């Protein structure tokens, strides 16, 4: 059985299908782990969700910030805005309940022990060891699947950064932000959620989370998406698989048996 990992899809169904064809994907014998942000911005968010829902037996998705935003619009009380229009067809879909129930049961972090691999959407906070990361992910996954999901999703919109002394809602928000939005840490070790450029274009006072001197998890292969300006990027055993397909870049896949060989499909969307 092949284990395939694919970066941010963001409603780019045509590119996703073409990429799966390039890999000779077989839903009977392959498994696909998506790195989150299945929806929003791109042209076919509803169709992407329907496609993956129909292949539930062989796909999973580590939740991204756009996936959580969709949950906040449906399960939570986050108001719909014009900039959410690319996910409006999901909100209007007759199949909405099934699609949203499927999405809310997806993990924040996934591990493939045979490959010493971890998958997340944005990152793992450098101060967390693997046991902490697992328990943080579990805590949020349980909440999203509980009757408290609405208040968690409605209340998650903050720039709360992680620190050890947090409790309650600030802790929940810091965990969600670390797994789904983090890119850089500042000199005080706080997350900077506004800078989205690649590290070479950014002030030295900001450090990518995976280059932090505090990084506790050193012995795992970590795969993440979310950072489209980073693109196809590797730092030691840490790989970004988001090359901005929705912005006219590429969608990237790897087979965990040969992770150095990136399979790419160029987007048909013009920049």
Pick the stretch among 65-73, 82-90, 207-215, 246-254 that binds Mn ion (CB under 5 A): 65-73
CB of 165 to Mn ion, least distance (A): 27
The whole-angstrom separation of Cα 157 and Cα 211 is 26
CB of 188 to Mn ion, least distance (A): 24
67 forms part of the interface with Mn ion (CB under 5 A)? no
User: Which residue, 30 or 37, has its beta carbon nearer to Mn ion?
Assistant: 37
Helix (H) or strand (E) holding 138: helix 130-144
> Do the beta carbons of residue 122 and residue 183 sit within 8 Å?
yes
The whole-angstrom separation of Cα 199 and Cα 183 is 9
Pick the stretch among 14-22, 147-155, 171-179, 226-234 that binds Mn ion (CB under 5 A): 226-234
183 forms part of the interface with Mn ion (CB under 5 A)? no
User: Which residue, 65 or 160, has its beta carbon nearer to Mn ion?
Assistant: 65
User: Which residue, 104 or 121, has its beta carbon nearer to Mn ion?
Assistant: 121
Interacting residue with Mn ion among 64, 107, 126, 244 (CB under 5 A): 64
User: Which residue, 180 or 207, has its beta carbon nearer to Mn ion?
Assistant: 180
Provide CB contacts within 8 A for 222, sequence distance 6+.
117, 118, 119, 120, 123, 124, 210, 237, 238, 239
Interacting residue with Mn ion among 15, 30, 37, 67 (CB under 5 A): 37
Residue with nearest beta carbon to Mn ion:
226
65 forms part of the interface with Mn ion (CB under 5 A)? yes
For every residue of 211-238, DSSP letters joined together read G-TT----SSEEEE---TTTEEEEETTE
226 forms part of the interface with Mn ion (CB under 5 A)? yes
Provide CB contacts within 8 A for 177, sequence distance 6+.
158, 159, 160, 161, 162, 191, 193
- Using CB under 5 A, list all residues that contact Mn ion: 37, 64-65, 226
């Amino acid at each position: 059985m092949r284990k395939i990992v694919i970066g941010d899809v963001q409603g780019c169904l045509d590119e996703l299908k073409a990429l799966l064809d390039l890999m000779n994907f077989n839903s009977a014998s392959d498994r696909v782990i998506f790195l989150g942000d299945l929806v929003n911005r791109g042209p076919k968010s509803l169709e992407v969700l329907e496609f993956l829902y129909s292949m539930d037996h062989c796909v999973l998705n580590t939740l991204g910030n756009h996936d959580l935003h969709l949950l906040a619009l449906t399960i939570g009380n986050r108001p719909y805005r014009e900039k959410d229009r690319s996910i409006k067809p999901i909100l209007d879909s007759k199949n909405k309940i099934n699609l949203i129930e499927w999405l809310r049961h997806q993990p924040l972090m996934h591990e493939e022990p045979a490959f010493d691999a971890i998958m997340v959407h944005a990152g793992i906070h450098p101060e967390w060891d693997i046991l902490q990361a697992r328990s943080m992910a579990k805590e949020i996954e349980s909440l999203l699947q509980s009757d408290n999901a609405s208040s968690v999703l409605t209340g998650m919109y903050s720039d709360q950064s992680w620190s050890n002394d947090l409790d309650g809602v600030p802790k929940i928000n810091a965990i969600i932000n670390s797994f789904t939005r983090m890119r850089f840490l500042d000199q005080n070790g706080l997350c900077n959620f506004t800078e989205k450029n690649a590290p070479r274009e950014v002030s030295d006072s900001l450090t990518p989370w995976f280059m932090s001197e505090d990084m506790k998890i050193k012995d795992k292969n970590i795969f993440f998406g979310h950072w489209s300006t980073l693109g196809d990027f590797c730092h030691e055993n840490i790989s970004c698989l988001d090359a901005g397909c929705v912005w006219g870049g590429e969608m990237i896949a790897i087979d965990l048996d040969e992770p150095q060989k990136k399979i790419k499909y160029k987007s048909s969307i013009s920049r």
